[in-house]
Amino acid sequence: MKLVLAMLLALGTVNIGTTGIPTKILIHPPIQKSIKDTVAIVMLDHPKTEQEIKQLLAPYKDIKLRRVYQKAIDGFSIQGPPSAIARLEAQTQNRQQTQIQHVSPVTEYRVETEESVKIIGGEEARGFFSKKNERLTGRGVTVGVIDTGVDYTHPDLARNYAGGHDLVDNDQDPMETLMQGRATIHGTHVAGIIAANGKIKGVAPEAKIVAYRALGPGGGGTTEQVLAAIDQAIKDKVDIMNLSLGNSINGPDLPISQALDRAVENGIVAVAASGNSGPNVWTVGSPGTSAKAISVGASTPTMEIPQLLIEGMQNLLRVQPMEGSGDWSLDRTLPIVDGGIGQPNELENVQGKIVLMKRGELTFSEKAKNAHEAGAKAVVVANNLKGTFIGNLDAPAAIPIGSITKSEGEFLRKKLKNTSLTARLKVNEEIDQLADFSSRGPVTDTWDIKPDLVAPGVAINSTIPGGYLSLQGTSMAAPHVAGACALIKQAHPDWTPEQIKAALMNTAKPLTKEPGEPSSTSLGETTRKPIRIDPIGGINKGKTQLTPGPYYRTYEQGAGRIQVDDAIQTESLVMPGSIRFGKFSSLKNVHKAQLKVENISAKPRRYTFDIPQHIDGLEWRFPLAFTLDPEESRDIIVELAVDPQIFKGKIHDGFLTLHAGSQSIHIPFLYVLEEPGYPRVMGFDFAEGDEPGTYQYEVYVPGGAEEFGIALFNPDDYRFVGFLDTSTDVKKGLIRKSFKAEDLPFEGTYRAKVFAKKAGKEDFIETMISIYKN
């Protein structure tokens, strides 16, 4: 008898505290105070040889050494029973004897799935020349792509391929997975955005690509494999590494995030996708939480967005075109009809009309095909969950197809029951909007502003094995930044990773929202008026950095959308590129941030700060105006004094402006008065174990928990069934446990409540688990 477990889509969102409890409360009894080998990463305070590590593990007969990491981290991976690993972990209390820093369970990482080059200034950059009098194309720069592999036979990539490593099969052939049903294309798409040099051109078309296959069939891989890839890339001394992969764990202390910090310390520019779990805050995931890497969110390139003017409705209905959609070019007013989910028998009266469909059951391509064959002119698919989405078609559609929100679909469906509706098409051009799926920060515990930057990540055409395809995701945004870093590295070969990151952040374009666009989940916002910073000349001449209207928060977009041409030509650098003042402490009400200002031009530069808009209870203190000679730098202090009796906001963020001659540098900042309620439990996943008949879960508890548990309920009447697992006095970090089949409940579908309690507060994730017997 074999159990097959399938995680169903969460019926609700992440519910935070008692205010987010669903209609029926899931009440579980108090938890009582559970065995399969597991894999873990052991971090050391200092490097050890393999022989020293084996001696360290000698007392633990059940633990097997798997990999030793020499560059990415000081540590190694092990495999053994949870009880044995727990005994080893207990030795972290005696570091003088063992030098063990901490033990972290292995988690899973997955892929985060030519106009964009022009938007970020890539075409202009190709008109610039390096110190060797060569056009800036990335020549002489090596980019490591840690992903699903690369199709190095692709005609647009073959000339740029410079070898690689397969950390899944442990050989030197990093070809994409070709297995039918589990084939991958992701790494080839990422590599093409960076350095395609054929039918399409990447951002840095002459950069060298070294491929590291860390994600195997289906696009999945483990911490162990990704760490091995980072370790190898450091040994190979690549100039830049791109990681378009991640998980949903928002924490700064995971091994992958720390390994990227180590890569930067070794002189490598590390670029990581922030994740595709937006639009809510706290959704940025590792390795996008790495402090020293460049974490990248996704913005939109220039897109033609169809809007429907529906008779009797005052506001236009925005439709998000799907990838592979036919052109939205309807030239007349057309009726709208309800087409159910798009089955042929539901489309008997759709000829010459716009069809409204529900999302689900059929693929988008099947919906479009059925509608086209029935004579429809267009398809609008309403989401089945809250929020918007961007769909991908399996094959190009003959008619236009796009998406709307669930509430918009319900509104139209209700109207259609009582009356007929007609719609006329209007097409609006949009650019530089934050993609709805792009993960937001800040980072739990450290309050780092992440992502650092955004770049185009929607409808990005690039290489795949056997051809080309448009995809979207922060996975597509990150390689734009990696390619931009290659251009900067060619132009300024002596620049450090910190200087390259600063150049991109200092010259980024802060993005504003379209009128009426909703905000992401609030952290407790300070009311601020829209501001405008006008161009003053120099490298920003003709470019308005901050336009009228509401703008995205710093923890949503970082410094803004990259402008690589400006970054290459910048004449001043401010490091770090963003400021976090941390959290209010009763012991002090003055918070200081140190910045390094560097004049990299050939002329003296005068530097002055703008005074931010006044907020009651906040007082800024800036250095007086100063001048730097060429190649001179200065450390300065920016202070923020807070009167908590007057300042009423929980959080304050925005941009400071430093004028460097004619250049304006915008520095995002974040200050927290009260710790907002970030999720105390996140990143829950349930899957089959490494061996037949075993299963495992993992979950991240960013602040630890006095009580943790997974309670199961009957989905019909919400009756408590039992606990899948419980723990007390849980340390912060990743929890991972394995089970045998006999330890699991009877077959059926359960509503699961994954909860963590601390200081009288309970946070939880609600999802569904189905258990079937084969």
Asked if pLDDT for residue 108 goes beyond 70, the answer is no
| Residue 666: band (very low, low, confident or very high) from pLDDT cuts 50, 70, 90 | very high
pLDDT (0 to 100) of residue 380: 95
Distance (Å, whole) CA 239 – CA 177 = 26
Which residues are CB-contacts of 399 (< 8 A; sequence separation ≥ 6)?
Answer: 326, 368, 371, 372, 376, 377, 378, 379
pLDDT (0 to 100) of residue 207: 98
Ranking 311-315, 406-410, 531-535 by mean pLDDT, the lowest is 531-535
Average pLDDT over all residues of the chain: 83
pLDDT digits (tens, 9 = 90+) for 218-265: 888 888 999 999 999 999 999 999 999 987 778 777 889 899 999 999
Strand ranges (E), 14-155: 38-44, 64-69, 75-80, 100-105, 108-111, 142-147
pLDDT, mean of residues 32-36: 52
pLDDT (0 to 100) of residue 11: 25
Catalytic site includes residue 186: yes
pLDDT, mean of residues 306-333: 88
Catalytic site includes residue 147: yes
Q: Which residue has the higher pLDDT, 699 or 560?
A: 560
Ranking 297-311, 386-400, 553-567 by mean pLDDT, the lowest is 386-400
- The CA-based diameter of the chain, rounded to the nearest angstrom, is 79
Asked if pLDDT for residue 376 goes beyond 50, the answer is yes
Catalytic site includes residue 475: yes
Strand ranges (E), 567-681: 572-575, 579-583, 590-599, 605-609, 618-621, 626-628, 633-642, 651-660, 663-672
pLDDT digits (tens, 9 = 90+) for 58-78: 888 888 888 888 887 888 888
| Torsion, CA 77, CA 78, CA 83, CA 88, rounded to 10 | -70
Distance separating the N- and C-terminal Cα atoms of the chain: 6
Asked if pLDDT for residue 134 goes beyond 80, the answer is yes
Find the helix packing angle between 223-236 and 255-265, rounded to 10°: 10
Pick from 428, 403, 433, 414: nearest CA to 313: 414
504: part of which helix (H) or strand (E)?
helix 497-506
Pick from 473, 453, 451: nearest CA to 462: 473
Q: Which residue has the higher pLDDT, 105 or 263?
A: 263
Alpha helix (H) residue ranges in 378-437? 406-418
pLDDT, mean of residues 31-47: 71
3-state secondary structure labels for all residues of 754-771: EEEEECCEEEEEEEEEEE
pLDDT (0 to 100) of residue 674: 66
pLDDT digits (tens, 9 = 90+) for 388-438: 777 878 788 999 999 998 889 999 998 898 889 999 999 888 889 998 889
Buried-state track 116-141, b at ≥16 Cβ within 10 A, e below 16 = bbebbbbbbbbebebeeeeebbbbbb
Ranking 493-502, 507-516, 639-648, 687-696 by mean pLDDT, the lowest is 687-696
Q: pTM here?
A: 0.75
pLDDT, mean of residues 632-657: 89
Catalytic residue among 274, 438, 462, 475: 475
CB 702, CB 656: distance < 8 Å: no
pLDDT digits (tens, 9 = 90+) for 475-492: 999 999 999 999 999 999
Catalytic residue among 147, 156, 231, 253: 147
Asked if pLDDT for residue 144 goes beyond 90, the answer is yes
Ranking 236-240, 587-591, 652-656 by mean pLDDT, the lowest is 587-591
Chain centroid to Cα 306, Å, comes to 27
Pick from 194, 201, 225: nearest CA to 212: 225
pLDDT digits (tens, 9 = 90+) for 708-727: 989 888 888 888 888 888 88
Q: Which residue has the higher pLDDT, 240 or 447?
A: 240
469 bridge partner residues: 462
DSSP string, 40-65: EEEEESS---HHHHHHHHTT-TT-EE
Cβ atoms < 10 Å from Cβ of 363: 14
In the β-sheet with 38-44, what is the strand arrangement from edge to edge? 64-69, 75-80, 38-44, 100-105
pLDDT (0 to 100) of residue 62: 83
pLDDT (0 to 100) of residue 683: 72
pLDDT, mean of residues 518-530: 40
pLDDT, mean of residues 551-567: 95
| Residue 648: band (very low, low, confident or very high) from pLDDT cuts 50, 70, 90 | confident
Residue appearing with tokens 């003296």 = 604
Catalytic residue among 28, 186, 492, 666: 186
Q: Which residue has the higher pLDDT, 699 or 164?
A: 164
CB 469, CB 189: distance < 8 Å: yes
